[in-house]
Structure 1
Amino acid sequence: MELLSRVLLWKLLLLQSSAVLSSGTAAASSSLVSESVVSLAAGTQAVLRCQSPRMVWTQDRLHDRQRVVHWDLSGGPGSQRRRLVDMYSAGEQRVYEPRDRDRLLLSPSAFHDGNFSLLIRAVDRGDEGVYTCNLHHHYCHLDESLAVRLEVTEDPLLSRAYWDGEKEVLVVAHGAPALMTCINRAHVWTDRHLEEAQQVVHWDRQLPGVSHDRADRLLDLYASGERRAYGPPFLRDRVSVNTNAFARGDFSLRIDELERADEGIYSCHLHHHYCGLHERRVFHLQVTEPAFEPPARASPGNGSGHSSAPS
């Protein structure tokens, strides 16, 4: 009977959708991070800054991606939050309190099906409080959390679940199982991809008056090391990005010996498809005339003046 009830609970868990962690990584369109005007004199070097620590490539040979889920419990007002259980994507699971072993359950397939819900086999008064489901993706610098309040009643007829405007509240009979739902099926928590195939940076250039959708591609950079250069010949040989860009997260564009023809709108696009990062930085480059430098004044004794010999 106990085994049957557990099977039914987990089937119910798969059907529940009320407590779902929404991830902000699903959007594929680029978000505009910054837009600036850069004005420099002809003949100088322009450096258009485009940096992001989230684009640093750290190859994950264990395919673990440093993903972890942990459940915490906060009791009444003034009580200290304590860690109940955590589990890494590699499969290691740890229950912190001896009394909770075999009593708190996480699905071992959580990082495959996105079901991070916590099952308490038999609740008691000491289990009351606010439970938080916390997802951390150290590689992608992502954090998600969700709260569920558990209340314990002696009357099974009072058992129910409702939304208090901020979180789900479960009222569960003493000794009955409780299911704290936490579901996040975003691919960043469940899928595994080759990192070098998921990271790309490209620079575009628009001439004044040209719309964004007609911009010319200047450079494509891949974490695998592949680079592709485009653009007009007069500019192609004068633009560069550091060879170790993905190691430093610095994709700044350098343009040597600026010319008036270099004016335009330059945009840096950062894409980390696995982590869901899509950012765009825009630079309006203006090239002015070189600063006028007056000729140096002649100093005495440099041979530039006439002198008369004493008589």
Structure 2
Amino acid sequence: MHLITTHLQIVAVLFLPGAWGQMGSSSTLGVVVEAKNITLPAGSKAVLPCHSPRMVWTQDRLKDRQRVVHWDLVRSSPEYSVERVLDMSPGARQRLYNSVNKGRISVQDSAFNDGNFSLIINNVFTTDKGVYTCNLHHHYCQIHQSIQIQLNVTKSARKEKRYWDGEKTVFVVLLGKSVVLPCVNRRSLWREGLQEDQQQVAHWDFQPPGVRPDRADRLVDLYASGERRDYGPRFGSSKMSVEEDAFTLGDFSLSISHLKPVDKGLYSCHLHHHYCGLHERRIFRLTVGPPIPSAPTTAPRVQNDVPEPRTEKEVEGPRVVNVILPEHRGYFVQHLGYFLATFLLLALIVVAVIVLTRRRKKRGLEYDLRRCDRGNVISGGEMSLDCTELRTCNQEPPSSDYKNNLLKERDMVKECNMDFDGKLWK
């Protein structure tokens, strides 16, 4: 809790530099739980929020039952167990949970008057060994405290002692003797207090710029009984107000109407519950800005009986509105894709043409090797011979009377030579 309080104070110092002077007196004024900067235009209404559910006022007739003390015992041997030893509240007698402890274990009847809740054990048994816990609960104030004490039993008077083991107090008691396990809390919270409507107070303070915290102006005091004290003319003129049922709802917000530059400054909401020991403070820095500009009003046009003459030169042309639409982010990428696709298509076409051309040339060369053109007679009396197509003489006549292949080949050679000589001498 102390760490959270420290952090809240640091936040208040960081966000509200004007609250430096108030940090030194935080112990007397209360703990700062909230700090805000608020800027509003002049003439508007400001609401400085201040809520606390712990300050909700309810007329509780069973107030004594809100405070309870009970002692618990934790045994580790022979097996782990938890046992309720005793409990009591101001409006009821103390109650023992084991008949063996009747008349042997008790707490003083004046515990809630003097704050002494110590547990008295007479004629200590061996079974009394264990860890005792004193639990203090205040349900209305939401406060819960616990104190642990370890009790050990010995049969040797030399071993009887009391020491701190780093976590709790340890009592080593001689068997059969009496012991008092201390549990003392003398805060007024645990004793008979005054009426709650006199213990709950809320008040607002105003600190103008350049004014020290101890010179702050008190605006209003609110009491849970319904009493209210106004300081200055601000609440009397209804410029500032706090809801009448503030203690019923826990809402102590301050409303300021018709803001003016003089309302600029530091506002602080203080909540005190003396019975519960509650002291909270909320700080708001209010800055008043320029007023909100009013809506422009057009001056009424004066209508003359005589209409204004219009010249022929005044010709109303059509109104052209140029709208420039920003290009989409993917515009460049889209056109680049079109260009690349076109280039790739052209490249494929060129490659296809080249391949087809090479194939056609290769076929032409093969055809030229198989074909020889006829020669012409040139000068010098030389003659170039035309190579005619050689006809294979392998056609076998339908009626063949050859006895063997040798005779057949000889006749075929003769026939071919005769054909060749006839063509040569023509």
Shorter-chain TM band: 0.7 to 0.9
**Match of 1:191?**
192
Structure number with larger C-alpha Rg: 2
**Match of 2:319?**
none
How far 1:296 sits from its partner (Å)? 9.1
**Match of 2:76?**
76
**Match of 2:216?**
215
- Larger helix fraction of residues: 2
Q: Distance in 1 between matches of 2:233 and 2:117?
A: 52
Conservation of the 8 A alpha-carbon contact between 1:218 and 1:236: no
How far 1:153 sits from its partner (Å)? 1.4
Conservation of the 8 A alpha-carbon contact between 1:65 and 1:139: no
How far 1:29 sits from its partner (Å)? 4.3
Conservation of the 8 A alpha-carbon contact between 2:65 and 2:89: no
**Match of 1:154?**
155
Q: Distance in 1 between matches of 2:80 and 2:108?
A: 28
Q: Distance in 2 between matches of 1:193 and 1:59?
A: 14
Conservation of the 8 A alpha-carbon contact between 1:229 and 1:236: no
Q: Distance in 2 between matches of 1:284 and 1:29?
A: 17
TM-score by length of 2: 0.59
Q: Distance in 2 between matches of 1:251 and 1:234?
A: 14
> Does the residue aligned with 1:247 lie in a helix, a strand or coil?
helix
- Structure number with higher relative contact order (C-alpha < 8 Å, ≥ 6 residues apart): 1
Q: Distance in 1 between matches of 2:84 and 2:297?
A: 74
Give runs of aligned pairs for residues 89-238 of structure 1, distance below 5 A: 89-233=90-234, 236-238=237-239
1:68 alignment partner AA? V
Instruction: Describe the superposition over 1:69-119 as per-residue Cα deviations: whole angstroms up to 9, x where unpaired.
Output: 111122229834332110001132111223322222111111112110001
How far 1:233 sits from its partner (Å)? 4.1
> Does the residue aligned with 1:242 lie in a helix, a strand or coil?
coil
How far 1:160 sits from its partner (Å)? 1.0
Q: Distance in 2 between matches of 1:143 and 1:154?
A: 36
Q: Distance in 1 between matches of 2:65 and 2:242?
A: 27
> Does the residue aligned with 2:92 lie in a helix, a strand or coil?
coil
1:238–1:146 Cα change, 3 Å: same
Instruction: Describe the superposition over 1:243-272 as per-residue Cα deviations: whole angstroms up to 9, x where unpaired.
Output: 111111111111123222211100011111
Q: Distance in 2 between matches of 1:206 and 1:29?
A: 14
Instruction: Describe the superposition over 1:152-202 as per-residue Cα deviations: whole angstroms up to 9, x where unpaired.
Output: 112232111112233211001222222111111111111220111111111
Q: Which moved more, 1:74-83 or 1:158-167?
A: 74-83
**Match of 2:246?**
245
1:65–1:226 Cα change, 3 Å: farther
TM-score by length of 1: 0.80
**Match of 1:66?**
66
2:104 alignment partner AA? R
**Match of 1:19?**
none
1:233–1:201 Cα change, 3 Å: closer
Instruction: Describe the superposition over 1:107-144 as per-residue Cα deviations: whole angstroms up to 9, x where unpaired.
Output: 11111121100012222232222111111112222222
1:55–1:174 Cα change, 3 Å: same
CA-based RMSD of the aligned residues comes to: 2.4
Conservation of the 8 A alpha-carbon contact between 1:202 and 1:218: yes
Q: Which runs of 5+ in 2 are unaligned?
A: 1-26, 299-426
1:140 alignment partner AA? C
How far 1:45 sits from its partner (Å)? 2.1
2:180 alignment partner AA? L
Aligned length: 271
Conservation of the 8 A alpha-carbon contact between 2:152 and 2:172: yes
Q: Distance in 2 between matches of 1:61 and 1:234?
A: 34
Conservation of the 8 A alpha-carbon contact between 1:41 and 1:287: yes
Q: Distance in 1 between matches of 2:138 and 2:90?
A: 10
> Does the residue aligned with 2:64 lie in a helix, a strand or coil?
coil
Instruction: Describe the superposition over 1:26-54 as per-residue Cα deviations: whole angstroms up to 9, x where unpaired.
Output: x7641222221111222332221112222
Q: Distance in 1 between matches of 2:114 and 2:28?
A: 22
Instruction: Describe the superposition over 1:189-247 as per-residue Cα deviations: whole angstroms up to 9, x where unpaired.
Output: 11220111111111010111111111111111011111122234499522111111111
2:35 alignment partner AA? E
1:49 alignment partner AA? P
**Match of 2:48?**
48
Q: Distance in 2 between matches of 1:41 and 1:82?
A: 64
**Match of 1:14?**
none
Q: Which runs of 5+ in 1 are unaligned?
A: 1-26, 298-311
Conservation of the 8 A alpha-carbon contact between 1:269 and 1:278: yes
Conservation of the 8 A alpha-carbon contact between 1:63 and 1:192: no
Conservation of the 8 A alpha-carbon contact between 2:230 and 2:236: no
Conservation of the 8 A alpha-carbon contact between 2:48 and 2:255: yes
2:34 alignment partner AA? S
Q: Distance in 1 between matches of 2:37 and 2:293?
A: 23
1:87 aligns to 2:88 (yes or no): yes
1:267–1:29 Cα change, 3 Å: closer
- Percent identity over the alignment is 52
